[in-house]
Amino acid sequence: MSKKVRILVSAIIIVLIAIISVFAYINQTDKNNINAEQMPNKRSDKNINQCYYKSFDPIYNGDYNYFGEVISKMENQDLIYNIKIDNFEEYKNYKEKWPEMIEISQQEFEKYYCVITAIENTSMQGLVVDNIEFENEKLYISLIKEDDENTYNCISYMIPRKFETDKIITVRNINESEKEYIEGMKIALSNVKQNNSDDNSIDYLTQGKIDLNGETQNSNNYWQDELYFNYKITKDMEEPKWSKFIKLNNNGMYYLKVDKFSEYIKLKDKYNFRDLNYTDFKYMTPYLIIDRIIGATLNISGKYDGNNYINQEIVPRTYVVKNSDIIDAMSTDNKYDVILILIPNNSQYENQFITYENPITISKERAIEIAKEKIKTMESINGKKDFESYGSIKLENVYKNDFPSSDNIYEPNEYKERKYTCWKFSSYSISDPLAMCEIYIDAENGEFIGGKMSGD
pLDDT tens-digit series, residues 256-275: 999 999 999 999 999 999 99
Backbone angles phi, psi at 23, to 5 degrees: -60, -40
Q: How is 313-376 classified by DSSP, letter by letter?
A: --EEEEEEEEEEEEP-GGGSSEEEEEEEEEEE--TTEEEEEEE-SS---S-HHHHHHHHHHHHT
CB 53 within 8 A of CB 156: yes
Predicted pLDDT at 312:
52
Q: Tell me: pLDDT of 66 over 70.
A: yes
Q: What b/e sequence results for 104-124 when a residue is b if at least 16 CB atoms lie within 10 Å of its CB, and e otherwise?
A: beeebbeebbbbbbbbbeeeb
The predicted structure's pLDDT at residue 21: 57
Q: Tell me, what's the pLDDT at 120?
A: 78
User: What pLDDT score does 223 carry?
Assistant: 84
What distances in angstroms separate CA 45 from CA 41, 42, 309, one per listed residue? 10, 9, 52
pLDDT band at 38 (very low <50, low <70, confident <90, very high): very low
pLDDT band for position 290 (50/70/90)?
very high
User: What is the pLDDT, as a whole number, of residue 26?
Assistant: 45
pLDDT at position 212: 45
pTM: 0.79
CA atoms within 13 A on the CB side of 243: 0
Contact 179, 173 (CB under 8 A): no
Provide φ and ψ at 417, rounded to 5°: -65, -35
Say how many C-beta atoms besides its own lie within 10 A of residue 88's C-beta.
Answer: 17
Least confident stretch, 77-86, 174-183, 330-339? 330-339
Tell me what pLDDT residue 126 has: 84
CA 232, CA 272: separation in Å to the nearest integer? 9
Cα–Cα distance measured from residue 198 to residue 193, given in angstroms and rounded to the nearest whole number: 12
Rounded to whole angstroms, the Cα distance separating 344 from 324 reads 27
Long-range own/partner contacts, residues 18-22 (CB < 8 A, 24 or more apart): none
Banded model confidence at residue 141, pLDDT cuts 50, 70, 90:
very high
For the chain, the distance separating the N- and C-terminal CA atoms, rounded to the nearest angstrom, is: 93
- Does position 150 have pLDDT exceeding 80, yes or no? no
Provide the pLDDT for residue 268.
95
Query: Cα(116)–Cα(214) distance, rounded to whole angstroms?
Result: 43
Least confident span in 54-63, 209-218, 227-236, 317-326 = 209-218
Task: Domain ranges for the chain, please list them.
Answer: 3-37, 46-173, 225-355, 364-454
| pLDDT at residue number 15 | 55
Question: Is pLDDT above 70 for 100?
Answer: yes
Phi, psi of 96 (to 5 degrees): -65, -35
Rounded-to-integer distance, Cα 139 and Cα 143, Å: 13
Considering the chain, what is the average pLDDT of its residues? 82
- Quick one: which H or E segment has residue 23? helix 3-38
pLDDT band at 46 (very low <50, low <70, confident <90, very high): confident
